[in-house]
């Protein structure tokens, strides 16, 4: 038996359309991770930075999920949890993601499935009659009800590409939320540590002021008794005023840090929590550092750039599909009648089935220009992705170098503080033995406190820069629905 010609032609047309559907490319492929195996010209990873008092080891691996718990403060842990739950900017970003997901649902629902609409119409009309039949005009009522179905065949993949771009845009919002959570967690830790360090520095500076004022008073008494020159009085007074002058700025920095911490936690500044005990904070000793090939799958800014590239690639496919015909099928079924009583009777039934093809012929080169623009946007997104990766590698490399220098500087600060403590102890012993003046004791204590300020600042920098490194390398998290995302919470 021979196949009917119409069937054969239909099969050929179907095959042609299916092959043409592959033309609305290109398909997206995730960028290949760079071949780098370390973050700077230095060795791949510094195995450890180990001053005697604060060892810190860096080993390859992903960041821990709740890295801030390594600071050894349950109070700090609770602050991070509170901030992630109540920060307004984070909630706004979450709401934007929810809106993007709903818009995606609306777009896919209206494009991937047929649209069905029902219309009910009741009208009274006056129309011209035929000259040879009846009066020249007629007045009548019309009752009509129709259900219409429309569906656009996605032969060339335009709908699929548009929805693919919309899904990629949602992925961008997902990674923006991840980056916001990551930044918030790091800023909470950094601000809390900074406020605690400033509080500790403020206490030391206030003691320095007390000592400087006491030295000024004693020097003035010695001058009155002829045991000191007037220059010594002026020098002691200047030192006291310098110490006092340092207090307002230090106090302002502390208050600013506390206010910032409260806002990050979602509180009013007046409800800022009490400071952490700075001396009880622990330096994270084991710091996993993702290798470059893994970092590109952990940093939310890189993943957002990849999703943006995916969206741009899909829009290029959409612009390509717009060059080809669009096929639309329509069908309607209903009833029309001049009388309400016969509206639902079978003689009043109306229906229609049809199809349409729209092929762009001439639009002033707009469609080709749109495709060239989409290709340029895809190329721009590629460059942005590559630059984001390079910037991320630089962030991690800088953080590692900074932590090395922090550890070296802090080791020297600790040694200087220990030396100053021994000098103070010996000076006080000599004073008790009658061989050293009280002024020398006060001066040595001031020097000890100054070295302590340097040590606190150094420890503060190391704690903060460790948090910055954790932020730079990212962390994996499972949300409340069990889905893995790349965020810090």
pLDDT in tens, 441-468: 999 999 999 999 999 999 999 999 999 9
- The pLDDT value recorded for residue 483 is 45
In a domain, 363, yes or no: no
- Which domain does 476 fall in, by range? 24-113+159-324+375-485
In a domain, 464, yes or no: yes
In a domain, 173, yes or no: yes
- The pLDDT value recorded for residue 51 is 45
In a domain, 472, yes or no: yes
Residues whose CB falls within 8 Å of the CB of residue 312, separated by 6 or more in sequence, listed in order: 165, 374, 377, 378, 380, 381
Q: For residue 92, give the CATH number of its domain.
A: 1.20.1600.10
In a domain, 347, yes or no: no
In a domain, 207, yes or no: yes
In a domain, 232, yes or no: yes
> Tens place of pLDDT for every residue, the chain, 489 residues?
444 444 454 455 445 444 444 547 788 888 887 777 778 765 544 444 444 455 788 888 887 889 999 999 999 999 999 999 999 999 999 999 999 999 989 888 888 788 888 888 777 776 665 555 555 566 767 778 788 888 888 888 888 888 889 999 999 999 999 999 999 999 999 999 999 999 999 999 999 999 999 999 999 999 998 888 999 999 999 999 999 999 999 999 999 999 999 999 999 999 999 999 999 999 998 888 888 888 888 899 999 999 999 999 999 998 888 888 888 889 888 787 767 666 666 566 778 888 888 888 878 888 889 899 999 999 999 999 999 999 999 999 999 999 989 999 999 999 999 999 999 999 999 999 988 999 999 999 999 999 999 999 999 999 999 999 999 987 654 443 344 443 333
- The pLDDT value recorded for residue 138 is 67
**Total number of domains in the chain:** 1
Q: Which residues of 18-51 are buried (b: 16+ CB within 10 A; e: fewer)?
A: eeebeebeeebeebeeeebebbeeeeebbeebeb
């Amino acid at each position: 038996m021979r196949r009917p010609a119409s069937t054969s032609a239909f099969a050929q047309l179907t095959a042609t359309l299916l092959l043409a559907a592959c033309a609305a490319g290109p398909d997206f492929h995730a960028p290949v991770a760079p071949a780098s195996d370390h973050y700077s010209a230095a060795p791949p990873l510094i195995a450890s930075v180990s001053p005697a008092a604060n060892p810190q080891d860096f080993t390859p691996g992903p960041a821990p999920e709740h890295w801030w718990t390594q600071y050894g403060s349950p109070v700090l842990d609770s602050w991070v949890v509170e901030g992630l739950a109540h920060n307004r900017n984070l909630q706004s970003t979450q709401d934007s993601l929810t809106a993007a997901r709903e818009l995606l649902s609306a777009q896919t629902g209206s494009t991937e499935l047929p649209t069905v609409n029902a219309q009910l119409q009741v009208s009274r009309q006056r129309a011209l009659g035929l000259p040879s039949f009846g009066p020249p005009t007629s007045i009548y009522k019309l009752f009509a009800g129709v259900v219409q179905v429309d569906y656009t065949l996605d032969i060339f993949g335009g709908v699929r590409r548009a929805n693919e771009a919309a899904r990629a845009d949602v992925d961008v919002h997902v990674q923006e939320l991840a980056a916001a959570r990551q930044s918030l967690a790091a800023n909470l830790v950094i601000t809390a540590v900074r406020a605690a360090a400033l509080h500790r520095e403020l206490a030391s500076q206030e003691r320095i002021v007390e000592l400087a004022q006491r030295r000024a008073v004693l020097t003035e008494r010695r001058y009155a008794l002829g045991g000191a020159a007037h220059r010594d009085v002026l020098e002691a007074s200047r030192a006291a005023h310098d110490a006092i002058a340092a207090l307002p700025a230090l106090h302002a920095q502390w208050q600013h840090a506390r206010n910032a911490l409260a806002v990050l936690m979602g509180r009013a500044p007046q409800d800022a929590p009490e400071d952490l005990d700075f001396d009880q904070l622990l330096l994270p000793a084991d710091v996993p550092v993702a290798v470059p090939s893994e970092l590109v799958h952990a940093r939310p800014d890189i993943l957002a750039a990849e999703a943006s590239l995916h969206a741009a690639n899909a829009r290029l496919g959409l612009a390509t599909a717009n060059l080809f015909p669009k096929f639309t099928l329509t069908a309607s079924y209903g009833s029309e009648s001049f009388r309400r009583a016969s509206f639902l009777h079978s003689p009043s039934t109306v229906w229609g089935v049809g199809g349409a093809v729209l092929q762009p012929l001439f639009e002033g080169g707009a469609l080709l220009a749109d495709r060239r623009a989409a290709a340029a946007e895809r190329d721009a997104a590629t460059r942005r992705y590559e630059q984001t990766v390079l910037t991320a590698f630089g962030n991690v490399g800088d953080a590692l170098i900074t932590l090395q220098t922090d550890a070296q500087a802090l080791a020297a600060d600790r040694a200087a503080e220990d030396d100053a403590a021994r000098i103070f102890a010996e000076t006080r012993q000599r004073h008790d033995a009658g061989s050293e003046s009280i002024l020398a004791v006060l001066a040595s204590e001031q020097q000890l406190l100054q070295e302590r300020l340097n040590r606190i600042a150094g420890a503060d920098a190391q704690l903060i820069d460790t948090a910055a490194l954790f932020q730079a390398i990212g962390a994996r998290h499972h949300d409340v629905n069990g889905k893995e995302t790349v965020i810090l919470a």
